[in-house]
Structure 1
């Protein structure tokens, strides 16, 4: 649906721009234009020609997903409307196309401008990475695994962490599907997250989702042991705004989950008390500030294949409250990311009281990951299992 809307805008803009050539043709005397009954002087012909060039250029930039399309669009809507006003009785219908362009410009400002969730995410990432402990360059050794249960140590070992620098932060890009309930429609999404590790770890997560063809912005912020989750439809209508102790607890579980799945190397220094349960299960008790959460980890052939916790919180249908509900994240498809080896596919599952009510609400695929990125590096250094970057430009419509 989004692609359809984008190409609809492209067609309208290119067509709208080409129609402006009629005014240029009449103004310069290139041809008789019966559709334009009012006289157009050569000077105004320049305005019509400029509008045609700028508006068509805007359409081309939108088609190419060029981030600077809005610069041409802002100029185009002004010049085009000036031309239309000079021949209002003949050209006033073109105002509708300019209103469409104006709406696209407004949405771009709301979704990418300084007040957007996207901009807030970038500011917070800059701050978090600037404040995170710098990498020491000290390589993780076998001796560092000695205090871990055998299953956890093997998981860290198989992740390729031994012999590599200790992890103080990560940046990951993912994509997948998400839904609110077992009967809800799936929403596709792309996401990026940045985690920092240390005495006061942080987790920042940005999701760009699509619901019935409309864009949905999701921002998770977990900084200073305080967490929030906010959701907006079309970057305007606030759908969810959750904060408080329950949210802090929920995000603490997610942070523990990220450690186990995305940054096994960071488990060696994390405040976790481990308990071996049997040959394939280990219990971990993770403390972050005032929050202490528990999870049972399941291993198969040395790989972590599931993470189960009763301390995760499920959001109510209106997004106003949170309640505890058993939660798990089955994992599969381990692949190499440069020197690292991680699960590239996973699910998020809720486990209500009735067993038959269990359902998958999240599917994710890990695309790229960078360990200990700089505050200004962006995604340029990200590595992925397929060698080619999967980073996507922000959508313009």
Structure 2
């Protein structure tokens, strides 16, 4: 589809050159019956250059393509109105360019918002003392958690204060949805000052995409979802979302094992392979249970989370299951997982997640 649009844009731009050709009398253009002066011919040339320039910027996915698109449409459409009898059908490609430019402008603004929030989050995590994790640091933890930390390979490595996680995923937005939607995401997580920001691009079909941003900061959660980065379909804050977000932060500890040492987390042993963690931070608290196998691998996380943020939202069991483990920077973590809601009528697996890369500390901020 993109290549068809590019061809239409280039043909549209080349057609504008006919106005320049006629204005300067280089050749007869029978399709343009109205007279065109040299000065107006130059305007036709400018419009052609802008449209062709937009076509190139659209082809290479320039983040500023929307700017060329807006300029091209304004000048082109003025000419089309002035020469309506001959050029009226040029309005159709202009509508296409305008539509794409509006979407690109929305995406640009969304990415700028996320970038500003990410810079703010990272700026608060630059001055912490670098230290090495030792056996003494984990002695107070429940046995299965100690075994997991030892098995993950973080002993003798620097304490993790920042992580960047690249993900690809398949998602379902409703329990009755049949088809999976492909997604890519990036997340920054900070440990000393608990926070994360997660942004995702989801392809719903060949024509519709949505962008999302989940955030946890100062003990508060936020969820923002926009169709083509323009139209809000979700913009949520509130106590129930705060609790669910801190539970998610807890569950994602498995990518950052040294988070288990956080002073905001209290551990309770359940048995030799299970432990419960409760995190309390700035007025928000949440709990979850971690399950491990005898070898020390993390295999499952379970929490009773609110499904939704509306007043009548109910708690359901939310389960993360590990399908595969992988080492990143020498630390063994889950690389493939599923997320499932245990509903009253059935289990709803809404997420299949694959970690494609993790960077820690200085490497995460590059």
Calculate the TM-score normalised by the size of structure 1: 0.83
The equivalent of 1:344 in structure 2 is 335
Matches within 5 A, 1:195-234: 195-198=189-192, 200-212=193-205, 213-234=207-228
How far the C-alpha of 1:111 sits from its partner, in A, is: 2.8
Q: Distance in 1 between matches of 2:13 and 2:150?
A: 60
1:141 aligns to 2:134 (yes or no): yes
Q: Which runs of 5+ in 2 are unaligned?
A: none
In 2, distance between residues paired with 1:322 and 1:62? Answer: 43
2:74 aligned partner: 78
SS in 1 for 2:314: strand
What's the CA shift for 1:251?
A: 0.7
Quote the offset at 1:16 in angstroms: 0.9
- Shift in Å at residue 308 of structure 1? 0.9
Cα RMSD (Å) of the superposition?
2.4
Say yes or no: does 1:153 pair with 2:146: yes
What is the CA deviation profile of residues 155-205 of structure 1, one whole-angstrom value per residue up to 9, with x for unaligned ones?
A: 22333322222122222221212213332143322222222223x512222
Q: Are 1:331 and 2:327 matched, yes or no?
A: no
Residue 58 of structure 2 is aligned to residue 67 of structure 1? no
| Residue from 149, 159, 162 that aligns with 1:166 | 159
2:360 is equivalent to residue 366 of structure 1: no
Worse-matched range after superposition: 325-334 or 97-106: 97-106
The answer on whether the counterparts of 2:195 and 2:217 sit within 8 Å (CA) in structure 1 is yes
Q: Which of 247, 252, 256 is 2:250 aligned to?
A: 256
Q: Distance in 1 between matches of 2:125 and 2:300?
A: 29
Counterparts of 1:171-320 in structure 2, within 5 Å, are 171-184=164-177, 185-198=179-192, 200-212=193-205, 213-259=207-253, 261-300=254-293, 301-310=295-304, 312-315=305-308
Matches of 1:278 and 1:362, distance apart in 2: 29
Q: 1:374 to 1:365 in 2, by over 3 A?
A: closer
Q: CA 1:27–1:290 in structure 2 vs 1: closer, same or farther (change >3 Å)?
A: same
Which protein, 1 or 2, shows the higher relative CO under an 8 Å CA cutoff with sep ≥ 6?
1
- Measured in 2, the distance between the counterparts of 1:320 and 1:347 equals 27
Q: CA deviation at 1:321?
A: 5.4
String of CA shifts for 1:312-365, please: whole Å, max 9, x gaps: 11127xx775321001111132222233332211111011235xx012111111
Distance (Å, rounded) in 2 between the aligned partners of 1:283 and 1:162: 22
The count of aligned residue pairs is 363
Deviation of the 1:73 alpha carbon: 1.9
Q: How is 1:14-25 mapped onto 2 (pairs within 5 angstroms)?
A: 14-25=10-21
**Alignment equivalent of 1:31, drawn from 22, 27, 30:** 27
Alpha-carbon distance between aligned partners in 2 of 1:320 and 1:99, rounded to the nearest angstrom: 42
Aligned-partner Cα distance in 1 for 2:243–2:198: 16
Q: Which TM-score applies when normalising by structure 2? A: 0.89
Residue 353 (structure 1) aligned with residue 340 (structure 2): no
